[in-house]
Amino acid sequence: GLYAIYSDLNVGNVTIIDNTKSGIYFYSGKAFTIRNSTIDGNGGGIIYGGSATGDAVVEDNIITNNTGSGVLIRLAEENSATLKNNKIDNNAGISSDGIDCDIAGTGGMVTIENNPVTRSGRYGIYLHGARTDLNVGNVTIIDNTKSGIYFYSGKAFTIRNSTIDGNGGGIIYGGSATGDAVVEDNIITNNIGSGVSISLAERKSATVANNKIDNNAGSYSDGISVYIAHSGGLMTIENNPVTSSGRYGIYLRGGRTESIVADSSVESSGSYGLYADSSDLNVENVTITDNTRSGIYFTSGKAFTIRNSTIDGNGGGIIYGGGAATGNAVVEDNIITDNTGSGVLISLAEEKSATLKNNKIDNNVGISSDGIYCKIAGTGGMVTIENNSVTNSADDGIYLIRAKKSILVNNNISTNGYGIRLDSSLNNLIYHNNFKNNHKYNAYDNGESNSWDDGYPSGGNYWEDYNGEDVDNDGIGDTPYNISGTAGAQDQYPLMEPWNGIDPDPDITYPVINSVILNTTDPNIGDDILVTVNATDNVEVTAVTADDLPLSDNDGDDIWMGTIIAINGTHTVNISASDAAGNTVYDEMANYTATTLPASGTTLNLYTGWNLISLPLMPEDTRITSLLSPINGNYSIIWEYNASDTSDHWKKYDPGVPFGNDLINMEPGKGYWIMMTSDDILPISGTIPESTDIDLKISWNLIGYNSLDSQPVVEALSSISGNYSIVWAYNASNTTDQWKKYDPSVPFGNDLTIFKPGKGYWIMVTSDDILET
């Protein structure tokens, strides 16, 4: 369509369609800019090749239905490429990418923002070149045959606020890239390959935060995969819900000291929930549930810490092994329950230590599954096990191999096969623990020189099957308790009552939510809803919440009551009930739909002079004479601009002229100019519109904001990203600066940042489209 060679070139507002080869072919040139143009149905889209020696700018274009790549750029080193606000769709040749960019030599900067890239024959975005930096923001990349983004052998990479959905793979950042990787605030879903796969050179860092990562479900697909070469680098994985991955939920290899996985959840993976290899790792406040294999598998690693986490319903609990890890292990303040394998399995190198404190470890019931299993190589190492509840394990509650100079204190150990079993362990101190109903033996000692009490008067342990007497009533049995096993050990001072009053059979029964009743299921938005919950427990329910708001049990009769505030739309009320032992159950048993605002609750403030308004609700009566009757006498005219009526865009209603008016009704989705003769308040009542989509025509449109909730402009217009060039608002209350604008091509200097209910907006659209609100 357009062939340029050895040139600088600016292209603007052109239409290039149905040419046999590429729409634009720019070869061995210098700088190249194309804006506001349509490249459609050609043999290829825009080709900018031959290692051009200038910068490339591709903005505000429609690049669709070409057989070759949508945009292909080849630059000389140290030049840059900027692609913004383009619609790139259905460039579907077998080897065709939506965007393909390579910068030679030492590379250069690539910026890709606000581009929907869809249905490409190969990659959505393919960036290669040994030393290229890439920034991607606010892009939508869907239904591409291969990965949504493939960045190979580059430098630094950042992607934020983007959607990567339904591609052959998600985000691939590979080839041991030599810069840092940042993946934040994205939706990465329904891809066949991994959601995020990052491969970095030694000592680089990866940050993956605030992403929704779901259903990346190929057989070898991970939700998040990060590899840092050789001695590794820093990994920060925070606040990511990762669900339904084909293989691992999170796979990490080469994490150095201070690497962390925090505030995240991993659910329903095809294999391990979190798999870490050859790493130092800290895990904090994660929830790992319903994964096919172990919740956490840490192999051939160094130091490992997990705190404040829930590991439930997996093929196994926490596995810290792979041939004796070379760092220390810390497992504190966790809930590790209902796993098929062992709750915690730790295998350490010689002289390393394991600390397990304040954990609830229950019902880990696979064949040969232990509550806690710890093995230390060589001459062994120290183990500290304190304040844990270890119950209902299929085999051993606690099994230690080559533990030395360790301490086991203040644990509840019940309903396991063995309570505690020691092999090749020596000089350990075990006291103030409670043993009950362990099926084989409460304790079994095949070690040597282990002490099962802390002397008198501190005492030893509570044994549910101890039959001795306490004649002097000092709380300590008068005869020793014999420990089974080859050591011939004894607890010289067995306790007559559970230590410290702790029940050796801890409460692990969850409350039951029997019913949830709402006093209304069709409230007005903002109304109070009375929630009544009946919740019971084997001991006592101590707290009940509805949508995180506490309810009250004033009469102690298992009936909890309180109010929540109705919000727009259909919602499920989330109920939780907890008991004193911390067992908490969640349920979703009641729904309501709030669609109508009371007339007194929705008003538009109007000011003398022109006002640009819209209707956030669908009134029962849409006639202007009815809608504006509350402000009769205080307005002089109202105008509508109809972009679809090319013969007569402007429609008006003048209350002083009863004939000749062509604006009769008002409705949501449209903007209206109204001239006020004095300040007033217009009440609005109605229901949420059945359809909130707004048809847009190329050029100017006057629209209403079709929502009851304020929203950032970028999010409100995300469905037409790349297909609008500017937005204007008019603020009648600001007499010094009434006009506000948002220009997506200029991220700085915009003073229109939020769309608000009841406001109207001018928007320039570069092609017909539909705004989904």
The two tokens of residue 52 are 């051009």
Question: 613 and 589, same structural domain?
Answer: no
Cβ burial of 471 (10 Å; 0-12, 13-18, 19+) is: exposed
Residue 61 inside a domain? The answer is no
Task: Report the alpha-carbon distance of residue 549 to residue 134 in Å, rounded.
Answer: 44
pLDDT grade for 504, boundaries at 50, 70 and 90: very low
pLDDT of residue 748: 62
pLDDT of residue 262: 95
pLDDT grade for 375, boundaries at 50, 70 and 90: very high
Question: 675 and 588, same structural domain?
Answer: no
What are the pLDDT digits (tens) for 741-760? 998 887 666 788 888 888 99
pLDDT reading at 593 higher than 80: yes
pLDDT of residue 1: 96
Is the preceding peptide bond at 457 cis, omega within 30 degrees of 0?
yes
pLDDT reading at 581 higher than 80: no
Task: Report the alpha-carbon distance of residue 410 to residue 461 in Å, rounded.
Answer: 9
Task: Report the alpha-carbon distance of residue 556 to residue 537 in Å, rounded.
Answer: 13
Task: Report the alpha-carbon distance of residue 118 to residue 148 in Å, rounded.
Answer: 9
Tell me the sheet residues that pair with 294. Answer: 316
Of 522 and 36, the one with more pLDDT = 36
Overall domain count for the chain: 2
pLDDT of residue 149: 93
Give the end of a domain, one of 565, 594, 623. Answer: 594
Question: 680 and 540, same structural domain?
Answer: no
Q: Where is average pLDDT lowest: 140-144, 216-220, 709-713?
A: 709-713
The two tokens of residue 110 are 């690539």
pLDDT grade for 273, boundaries at 50, 70 and 90: very high
Q: What is the mean pLDDT of the chain?
A: 90
CATH of the domain at 577: 2.60.40.10
Buried b (16+ CB within 10 A) or exposed e, 663-688: beebebbbbbbbebeeebebebbbeb
Q: Which domain holds residue 702?
A: 601-771
Residue 626 inside a domain? The answer is yes
Give the end of a domain, one of 594, 610, 638. Answer: 594
pLDDT of residue 617: 87
pLDDT of residue 554: 75
Question: 567 and 710, same structural domain?
Answer: no
Residue 150 inside a domain? The answer is no
From 564, 633, 603, 588, select the one nearest 758 (Cα to Cα). 603
Question: 590 and 606, same structural domain?
Answer: no
pLDDT reading at 601 higher than 50: no
The CA dihedral of 542, 545, 551, 556, to the nearest 10 degrees, is -30
Residue 316 inside a domain? The answer is no
Q: Where is average pLDDT lowest: 48-62, 302-316, 390-404, 578-592?
A: 578-592
What are the pLDDT digits (tens) for 684-697? 888 888 777 899 99
Task: Report the alpha-carbon distance of residue 142 to residue 94 in Å, rounded.
Answer: 17
Length of the chain: 773
Determine what percent of the chain is predicted with pLDDT higher than 90. 66
User: Parallel, antiparallel, or unpaired: how do β-strands 354-357 and 694-696 relate?
Assistant: unpaired
pTM: 0.67
Question: For residue 367, how many other CB atoms are within 10 A of its CB?
Answer: 8
Beta strand residue intervals within 143-277, DSSP E? 147-152, 157-160, 163-165, 169-177, 181-184, 187-189, 196-200, 206-209, 212-214, 224-228, 235-238, 241-243, 250-253, 260-262, 265-267, 274-277
Residue 588 inside a domain? The answer is yes
pLDDT of residue 508: 64
Question: 760 and 725, same structural domain?
Answer: yes
Q: Radius of gyration over alpha carbons of the chain, in Å?
A: 34
Task: Please state the separation of Cα 692 from the chain's center in Å.
Answer: 27
What are the pLDDT digits (tens) for 507-516? 667 889 999 9
**Which helix (H) or strand (E) is 541 found in, with range?**
strand 541-546
What are the pLDDT digits (tens) for 452-503? 999 999 999 999 999 999 999 999 999 999 999 999 999 999 999 999 855 4
Q: Which whole number is the average pLDDT over 348-359?
A: 94
pLDDT reading at 130 higher than 60: no
Q: Where is average pLDDT lowest: 169-173, 584-588, 597-601?
A: 597-601
Question: 708 and 617, same structural domain?
Answer: yes
From 564, 598, 593, select the one nearest 684 (Cα to Cα). 598
Q: Which whole number is the average pLDDT over 403-430?
A: 97
First to last CA, the chain: 37
Residue 128 inside a domain? The answer is no
pLDDT reading at 204 higher than 50: yes
pLDDT of residue 44: 95
Buried b (16+ CB within 10 A) or exposed e, 211-235: bebbbbbbeebbbbbbbbeeebbbb
pLDDT reading at 129 higher than 70: no
Of 647 and 436, the one with more pLDDT = 436
What are the pLDDT digits (tens) for 613-631? 999 888 888 999 989 998 9
Task: Report the alpha-carbon distance of residue 127 to residue 248 in Å, rounded.
Answer: 26
Q: Where is average pLDDT lowest: 46-55, 433-442, 456-465?
A: 46-55
**Which helix (H) or strand (E) is 347 found in, with range?**
strand 344-348
Tell me the sheet residues that pair with 126. Answer: 100, 150
Task: Please state the separation of Cα 409 from the chain's center in Å.
Answer: 39
Q: Which whole number is the average pLDDT over 29-57?
A: 92
pLDDT of residue 123: 94
pLDDT of residue 753: 82
pLDDT of residue 506: 58
Asked whether the beta carbons of 452 and 476 are under 8 A apart, the reply is no
pLDDT reading at 707 higher than 90: no
Give the end of a domain, one of 543, 577, 594. Answer: 594
Task: Report the alpha-carbon distance of residue 769 to residue 724 in Å, rounded.
Answer: 10
Question: 620 and 533, same structural domain?
Answer: no
Reduced to 3 states, what is the DSSP secondary structure of residue 719? helix
pLDDT of residue 684: 86
Reduced to 3 states, what is the DSSP secondary structure of residue 697? coil
Task: Report the alpha-carbon distance of residue 143 to residue 141 in Å, rounded.
Answer: 7
Residue 474 inside a domain? The answer is no
pLDDT of residue 507: 65
How does DSSP assign 111-166, residue by residue?
EEES-EEE--SS-SEEEE-TT-EEEEES-EEES-SSEEEEEES-S-EEEES-EEES
Question: 590 and 612, same structural domain?
Answer: no
Task: Report the alpha-carbon distance of residue 725 to residue 713 in Å, rounded.
Answer: 13
Beta strand residue intervals within 359-440, DSSP E? 360-362, 372-376, 383-386, 389-391, 396-401, 407-409, 412-414, 418-426, 429-431, 434-436
Q: Where is average pLDDT lowest: 102-106, 432-436, 643-647?
A: 102-106
Most confident of 234-243, 276-285, 363-372, 603-612: 234-243
The two tokens of residue 279 are 């790493």
pLDDT grade for 65, boundaries at 50, 70 and 90: very high
Q: Which whole number is the average pLDDT over 352-375?
A: 94
Cβ burial of 263 (10 Å; 0-12, 13-18, 19+) is: middle
Question: 457 — phi, psi (to 5°)?
Answer: -95, 5
Residue 261 inside a domain? The answer is no
pLDDT of residue 228: 93
pLDDT reading at 525 higher than 60: yes
Tell me the sheet residues that pair with 221. Answer: none
pLDDT of residue 599: 39
pLDDT of residue 51: 79
SS3 content of the chain, % helix, strand, coil (to 5): 5, 50, 50
pLDDT reading at 201 higher than 80: yes
Question: 743 and 607, same structural domain?
Answer: yes
Task: Report the alpha-carbon distance of residue 612 to residue 265 in Å, rounded.
Answer: 45
User: Parallel, antiparallel, or unpaired: how do β-strands 650-653 and 603-606 relate?
Assistant: unpaired
Question: 697 and 550, same structural domain?
Answer: no
What are the pLDDT digits (tens) for 292-331? 999 999 988 888 999 999 999 999 999 987 666 788 999 9
Question: 720 and 636, same structural domain?
Answer: yes
